[in-house]
Structure 1
Amino acid sequence: MAKPRLLVLTPGIRAYREYLLRSIGLAYRVHLILTESPTWERTYLDGWTVVADLADTDDLVRVTTGLAGETRFDGVLCWDETWIVQAARVAAALGLPGDPTVIERCRDKHHTRAALDANHVAQPGSRLVGDEGTALSAAQEIGFPVVLKPRAMAGSFGVVKAADEAEVRRFVAFTNQSWRMAPELPRHVRNILVEEYAEGPEISVDSVVFQGEVTPVCIARKELGFAPYFEEMGHVVDPGDPLWHEPTLTSLVEDAHAALGFTDGVTHTEIRLTRQGPKIIEVNARIGGGLIPYLNVLGGGADLGLAAAAVACGRRPTVDVALRRRPTAIRFYHPAHDNSVIDEITFDPAGLPPQVVEHGPLAEPGEVKSPPPRMLMDGRVAYAIAVGERADDCRAALDAAGRALRISIR
């Protein structure tokens, strides 16, 4: 029986997304749509098509319907937040699973808040504003501290905590101009959400959704740094986490998907565990980033990439897990100073404990990197992954990896 043919819109950054193509390419004939000829991706592909602009939806539909006229596609998949709406529109044009209206509802955080609010799903209070004056009024109404976030960005770009009126004034421009970090994303006249600060640990839940049935597959605890910004410094995936047995959390995730009308796909839901109970921060209509799904596989959990591909093809996914599962964790590292011109990034092997199973650079020689707020996730220079018997073993191993990291600056 021939492998299903899957249309994938853009590969994403190699360091963060190659594991998906590697896994999916074994079970599917992958045809990649991208803006320049593939290099490292070719190993995993059945074919590819180069387009001028992924933002040109009409051209994408024209090109992909032409390809489908030659050989039928079984599904369309995209894991890059920037292009998930375009991918859904292509899927709809080809008569394949994917609802652009629902994806847009998740993509636009204001629309997400409205849908959750209409269905009484627990979340922080939120106000949509367009300038400093209305931001101050919203913050005073909500009560300090508040969080400012852009309406349609990704990767925590532009998200910041403001403790008082002076900080709201200081951070409005930072949030409002965050689109410069990703100019392909939508811009709005009223672009800022002023939100209640949900105090408590932050987690993410990656779920497989098929025909309305929501199955949580991976729970990750976030490690945040560089306050008042919300830079993701790492994640811990522990199959023994007590959150797996928390019915309130499961119900919240299910209720959020129902409120958004999300029935098919893989999602990455971010949640704060507050004293009042868990609250939804956002629901991303794609596979989680930060290598979280890769951690899940390394620890013996289900392959979210394969599950996403199956659902994209209208097939019930198989969520297989190993008999023995172990905690896994990842840590990201930044340079100490702004405008650091990278020369070389290495880890001292003598300082790496055995729990560190993978490590490497995230910057090339000659690149200029800075810690937040000048640069956020795009300022990372290295990563390390640990697998251990306990989550704390993984954290300790990644602390050691940080001490073993050597960053040479020109």
Structure 2
Amino acid sequence: MSADIRPGVACLSGRRVVDVLDALDVYTVLLDDPTPLELACRVDVPLDIDLSDWAVVESAVSRIHAGRPLEGVFSVYDAHVPLAAYLAARIGVRGLDLSAALACHDKARLRMTLAAGGVRTPDSLAVADPADARASARRLGLPVVVRKSAGRGQLLCRDPGEVKRASELLGPGALLVEKFTDGPEYAVQSFTVDGVTEIVSVLAQHTGPGPGRAETGYDHPSGLDPVQESEVKAFCVRALAVLNFDHGVSHVQVRLTDDGPVLVDVAARPPGGQLCAATERISGIDLTRAAAEIALGRPVTRRPPTASHVLYRCVGFDRPGRIDYDVRGLGSPGVWLDVEPGDSVRSVDDPEGGSCGRIVVYGDDPAELESAYHSLFHSLRLRVEPDIQ
């Protein structure tokens, strides 16, 4: 029997990643807790392992690497990015620099690292005890945004009572209280190889009116003039360099103020929802595939873009209740809903509310996109009825 000469890679979790690695025809080690059976059947080495025990995971991956060398270790999930970087460093293979991975995971560390490198971020204070959030807000001056330091969750607060409620809702873990930065927001996608970053797309990002600042949509082109867009791109490239972001893909959120760009967040992964697909349509680059190719040391695959404009809208509601809609509307390309008829939904301005789906249309004519979006939206016949207890 001939030896398996396929390059090998270890990936921490990911259904979409397994699809990509199948297409790349590589030797795949998949670590998860647990590994879904349908994915375990499609990889070379499935590992059901406690991903919170880094020593145990390192020992298992080291044994595999000793017997069947790997090219790299990566993950496209926020929670697992630090462990993937740690494993890559420990076994001496390609992966995101550990300091960059830890900074992207911990927003307080992220802001300290960037500030030390001269990159503008919102003024902020780390809060170990949520009970101290109000004092931090008074020191910074209202309004403020209270965030989980690690993980998702943020609330805009305009008075001390809202700060108290936010800290109770987002706690008990460490929080970050930051001065609210006003201005239009942009989502910037990129990939980095050997410390050299290429910006893939810049999209205008829209947020809802509530304290949760839920994402309500994206547009491409971004609406920035060429000088402004070049400034935003250069700002993101510099920020990633300061973080020592050397191998991987990123999703960066930036606000543009009167004094220039301010960095809001960096995620060391492809964008979520349908943004990864949207980025591929307008750039020709699949960032999930790019993450795998970078870990393998391969050139990033580039295909011709298939659209110049994207209109991406999240589905949200202005009041809570039980949702109903015409399920035939789900048969249309470009429509995704995360709720079933009869499910309870929260309003978009509820602190725990947010997107319940997405409608995304592509093309080259903005007027045609608007028309296509409204047609798809009306085909769903969305309605929210009072939730009678």
TM surpasses 0.5: yes
C-alpha distance in structure 1 between counterparts of 2:244 and 2:358, whole Å: 36
Distance 1:320 1:393, change over 3 A: same
**Displacement of 1:38:** 3.0
Moved more, 34-43 or 220-229: 34-43
Contact 1:297 1:303 in 2 (8 A): yes
**1:90 correspondence with 2:72:** no
| Correspondence for 1:328 | 310
C-alpha distance in structure 2 between counterparts of 1:239 and 1:325, whole Å: 14
Look up the equivalent residue of 1:51 and give its one-letter code. D
For residues 323-379 of structure 1, give each alpha carbon's deviation from its aligned partner in whole angstroms, at most 9, with x where no partner exists.
664212333324676574x78872438xx9xxx7322332467866544546445xx
Q: 2:138 aligns with which of 127, 137, 140?
A: 140
For residues 248-307 of structure 1, give each alpha carbon's deviation from its aligned partner in whole angstroms, at most 9, with x where no partner exists.
212211221122121221111110112221110011122222221211222352222222
The share of aligned pairs that are identical, in percent, is 24
Moved more, 129-138 or 61-70: 129-138
Look up the equivalent residue of 1:204 and give its one-letter code. A
Q: 1:362 aligns with which of 323, 326, 338?
A: 338
**In angstroms, what is the RMSD of aligned CA positions?**
3.2
Look up the equivalent residue of 1:46 and give its one-letter code. V
Look up the equivalent residue of 1:287 and give its one-letter code. P
**1:219 correspondence with 2:214:** no
Give runs of aligned pairs for residues 123-162 of structure 1, distance below 5 A: 123-131=121-129, 134-154=132-152, 157=153, 159-162=154-157
C-alpha distance in structure 2 between counterparts of 1:241 and 1:48, whole Å: 46
Contact 2:214 2:353 in 1 (8 A): yes
**Displacement of 1:142:** 2.2
Look up the equivalent residue of 1:97 and give its one-letter code. R
C-alpha distance in structure 1 between counterparts of 2:353 and 2:5, whole Å: 43
Contact 1:132 1:168 in 2 (8 A): no
C-alpha distance in structure 2 between counterparts of 1:370 and 1:119, whole Å: 40
Which consecutive unaligned segments of at least 5 residues does structure 1 have? Answer: 13-17, 178-186
Which consecutive unaligned segments of at least 5 residues does structure 2 have? Answer: none
Moved more, 272-281 or 219-228: 219-228
Q: 1:51 aligns with which of 28, 43, 48?
A: 48
Q: 2:10 aligns with which of 2, 7, 10?
A: 7
**Displacement of 1:58:** 1.9
C-alpha distance in structure 2 between counterparts of 1:300 and 1:248, whole Å: 19
Give the secondary-structure state (helix, strand or coil) at the position aligned to 1:299: helix
Q: 2:294 aligns with which of 305, 311, 329?
A: 311
| Correspondence for 2:118 | 120
Report the TM-score, using the length of structure 1 for normalisation: 0.81
Q: 1:76 aligns with which of 69, 73, 76?
A: 73
Look up the equivalent residue of 2:107 and give its one-letter code. K
Contact 1:331 1:385 in 2 (8 A): yes
Contact 2:99 2:244 in 1 (8 A): no
Give runs of aligned pairs for residues 254-293 of structure 1, distance below 5 A: 254-293=237-276
Distance 1:26 1:392, change over 3 A: same
Contact 1:239 1:327 in 2 (8 A): no
C-alpha distance in structure 2 between counterparts of 1:163 and 1:240, whole Å: 29
**Displacement of 1:391:** 4.8
Distance 1:200 1:284, change over 3 A: same
Distance 1:402 1:347, change over 3 A: farther
Contact 2:121 2:264 in 1 (8 A): yes
C-alpha distance in structure 2 between counterparts of 1:153 and 1:166, whole Å: 23
Distance 1:229 1:75, change over 3 A: same
C-alpha distance in structure 2 between counterparts of 1:209 and 1:394, whole Å: 32
**1:35 correspondence with 2:23:** no
**Displacement of 1:116:** 1.0
Look up the equivalent residue of 2:13 and give its one-letter code. T
| Correspondence for 1:184 | none
C-alpha distance in structure 2 between counterparts of 1:40 and 1:345, whole Å: 31
Q: How many correspondences in the alignment?
A: 379
C-alpha distance in structure 2 between counterparts of 1:103 and 1:173, whole Å: 28
C-alpha distance in structure 1 between counterparts of 2:357 and 2:164, whole Å: 34
Look up the equivalent residue of 1:361 and give its one-letter code. L
C-alpha distance in structure 1 between counterparts of 2:40 and 2:325, whole Å: 27
Distance 1:323 1:282, change over 3 A: closer
**1:172 correspondence with 2:149:** no
C-alpha distance in structure 2 between counterparts of 1:244 and 1:80, whole Å: 33
Give the secondary-structure state (helix, strand or coil) at the position aligned to 1:25: helix
For residues 148-184 of structure 1, give each alpha carbon's deviation from its aligned partner in whole angstroms, at most 9, with x where no partner exists.
1111112xx2x1111122322332212225xxxxxxx
Contact 1:128 1:193 in 2 (8 A): yes
Distance 1:54 1:334, change over 3 A: farther
| Correspondence for 2:360 | 385
Contact 2:148 2:170 in 1 (8 A): yes
